[in-house]
Amino acid sequence: MRRLLLATSAVVLLLILVVSTRSINPAAPGDSQAVHQAGVQDNTSLRTLQARYKTLSKQLSQLMPREPYILVDTARNRLYVKRHDEVVLNAIASTGSGTILDKPGESKSQWIFDTPRGEFLVKTKLANPTWIKPDWAFIEEGLAVPQNAAERAEQGVLGDYALGFGKGYFIHGTLYTRLLGKNVTHGCIRLNDSDLKGVYQLARVGTPIMIF
Amino acid sequence: MMKLCAILILFVFTTPSWGKDFEAFPDLQLSDVQGLKEATRVLEEELKLAARPQTYVLIDLVGSTIQIKGRGIGLHQIPIIRWSSESRNELKGIHKLVARPSVVRRKIDPGAAGEQEPISLADMPADYVLSCSPSMTIAVVPSTAGETLLRGAAILGKSWWHHVQHWASSLFTDTPSTPTPHLQLTIAADHAQSLAWSLVDGMSIVIRRPTDK
């Protein structure tokens, strides 16, 4: 009787084992191998893609400026100094008016007073800058362009500092603070005295300027 | 020893962002193979653009945003309300904007008294088509708060006109019909004007497309 009980238990156990094995892995032995291989391949390609995505994300982050950079929104006339995502300085600016002025004697040539868009670098940092008035400054006022270079120099109109970013464009101060927040300049970026001082202190030669 | 352990524990729990990896698309599901393939393709294109001193546009149809970017940084972001395209597969690669939307500029009258009126965002168009090279067009359509049936009909009409133009040109040129890839973006009117303002001739555009799961 005892032997019969033992044998029955053994058979039941064996049956349970067989049934559970089949329910865990219901496919035939050949199919099971194929599914397993496909699964492994899927996992491998997924892992490869994930690794590639992370590598590319990292490469992109390495192109981002590590030091403070200047951001200029010409539509809303705002200048920011940012470090990563943090806004270090937020200033109301004046940027290009977008107006045009015909060049005298050149029928199809004209000046367009836009602030340039794109990425630039601070190329020069000047204290107590002197404005060397370009030709358009005289023509706009209906005056003759002087032959003597000394007649172009004007002191005090650019504020205490000027940061040049190429082709004659500067971030500088202004006497017309009531026009800050408006598109009124000939392409330069104007700030009030305290913001200009802040930008001058935060930026160095080589600081990126992003303008959109 | 206890103090050292406390400092270590504090350090681990108070500096979570230090160890965090930068992710270009935080909305991306890392288990989505097709989404990963598209994200890596876009990143490969973007890396080429971000390596140079320039601003570029990323139209993210998955995240529903238009981003003005430079060096991988998002400089300005515009939400997309709706988009449609019948040529989704063709919207890959780097496209260059042929010309920014035109704006009527005011001319300065030399010597004239008084201030000259500058151009402003309000002068920018809100409804325009951007032509790109290689051949692709992007229609920017403004959304109005009370969008009417008439507006919907106008959008449909534009799409229909795009097809008619393509059909007509294929008739005359006697070449096999290959439609110009076309994307239509519906955004708020002031955002459309802001986008028109920020675009420059020759600007590069990359599009992140949604994938069928």
Higher confidence at residue B193 or residue A40?
B193
Fill in the DSSP letter of residue A94: B
Nearest Cβ partner of A75 from B30, B105, B121?
B121
> Within 13 A of B177's CA, how many CA atoms are on the CB side?
10
Tell me which chain B residue has its CA closest to the CA of residue A140.
Answer: B110
Q: Give A119's contacts in chain B (Cβ within 8 Å).
A: 53-55, 70-71
Which residues of chain B have a CB within 8 Å of the CB of A52?
36, 40
Measured at the CA of B104, the angle between CA B98 and CA B107, to 5 degrees, comes to 120
Confidence band, pLDDT 50/70/90 cuts, at residue A5: low
> If you measure CA to CA, which chain B residue comes closest to A44?
B33
Across the interface, do B50 and A60 touch by the CB < 8 Å criterion?
Answer: yes
* Residue B134 confidence (pLDDT): 95
CB contact under 8 A, A100 and B36: no
Average model confidence (pLDDT) for chain A? 88
Of chain A, the end-to-end C-alpha distance in Å amounts to: 93
The alpha-helical segments, DSSP class H, found in chain A are 2-24, 29-63, 135-140, 193-202
Q: What single string gives the DSSP state of each residue in B151-203?
A: HHHHHHHHHHHHHHHHHHHHHHHT----PPPEEEEEEEHHHHHHHHHH--TT-
Answer yes or no: pTM beyond 0.90. Answer: no
pLDDT of A132 higher than 90: yes
Quick one: DSSP state of residue A180?
T
pLDDT score of A141 more than 60: yes
Task: Tell me the C-alpha distance between B47 and B63, whole Å.
Answer: 19
B191 Rama sector, left if φ>0, alpha if ψ -120 to 50, beta otherwise: alpha
Q: Which residues of B touch A61 (CB under 8 A)?
A: 22, 72
Residue B68, H or E segment: strand B65-70
For residue A130 the two structure tokens come to 């002197």
The percent helix, strand, coil of chain B (3-state, each to 5) is 35, 25, 40
Question: Contacts of residue A75 in chain B, CB cutoff 8 Å?
Answer: 121, 194, 197-198
SS (H, E, C) A31-82: HHHHHHHHHHHHHHHHHHHHHHHHHHHHHHHHHCCCCCEEEEECCCCEEEEE
Chain A residues in contact with B47 (beta carbon < 8 A): 56, 59-60, 63
Q: What is the pLDDT of residue A77?
A: 97
Tell me the chain B residues in contact with residue A98 when contact means C-beta distances shorter than 8 Å: 103, 105-106, 118-119, 123
Determine contact: B9 vs chain A, CB below 8 A.
Answer: no
Whether the per-residue pLDDT at A115 is higher than 80: the answer is: yes
State whether ipTM is beyond 0.90. Answer: no
Helices (H) and strands (E) in chain A, counts: 4, 15
Name the residue type at position A208.
P
Whether the bond into B134 is cis, omega within 30 of 0? yes
A25 pLDDT exceeds 60? no
Task: Provide the pairing of β-strand B55-60 with B65-70.
Answer: antiparallel
Taking CA–CA distances from B202, the nearest residue in chain A reads A118
Q: Residue B37: its chain A contacts at CB < 8 A?
A: 49
Verify whether the Cβ–Cβ distance B40 to A210 is below 8 Å. Answer: no
**Amino acid at site A84:** H
Q: How many helices (H) and strands (E) does chain B have?
A: 4, 9
Return the H-helix or E-strand segment holding B139.
Answer: strand B136-143
Q: Do the Cβ atoms of B46 and A112 come within 8 Å?
A: no
Contact A210 B111 (CB under 8 A): no
Q: CB neighbours (10 Å) of residue A195?
A: 20
Q: Quickly tell me which residue has 């704006």 as its tokens.
A: B103
What is the model's pLDDT at position A199? 98
What would the mean pLDDT of A19-35 be, rounded to a whole number? 47
Whether B33 sits inside 8 A of A112 (CB atoms) is no
**Per-residue CA distances from A13 to A18, A140, B92 (Å):** 9, 101, 60
DSSP conformational letter for B107: B
Per-residue pLDDT of chain B (213 residues; tens, 9 = 90+): 566 656 555 554 544 444 467 899 999 999 999 999 999 999 999 999 999 999 999 999 999 999 999 999 999 999 999 999 998 889 999 999 999 999 889 999 887 766 678 888 999 999 999 999 999 999 999 997 555 556 656 656 666 666 666 656 666 666 556 788 999 999 999 999 999 999 999 999 999 999 976
CB A70 within 8 A of CB A171: yes
Instruction: Say which residues have a Cβ less than 8 Å from residue A10's Cβ, sequence separation at least 6.
Output: none
Chain A and chain B share a number of CB contacts under 8 A equal to 133
Q: Do B108 and A100 touch (CB under 8 A)?
A: yes
Quick: pLDDT tens for A68-96: 999 999 999 999 999 999 999 999 999 99
Pairing of the two strands B204-208 and B95-97: antiparallel
Cβ-nearest to B24 among A57, A75, A141: A57
Chain length of chain B: 213
Report how far residue A184's alpha carbon sits from residue B127's, in angstroms, rounded to the nearest whole number: 26
**Residue B53, helix vs strand vs coil:** coil
Least confident of A27-31, A63-67, A169-173: A27-31
Mean pLDDT of A149-167: 96
Interface test with A, best of B105, B109, B194 (most A CBs within 10 A): B105
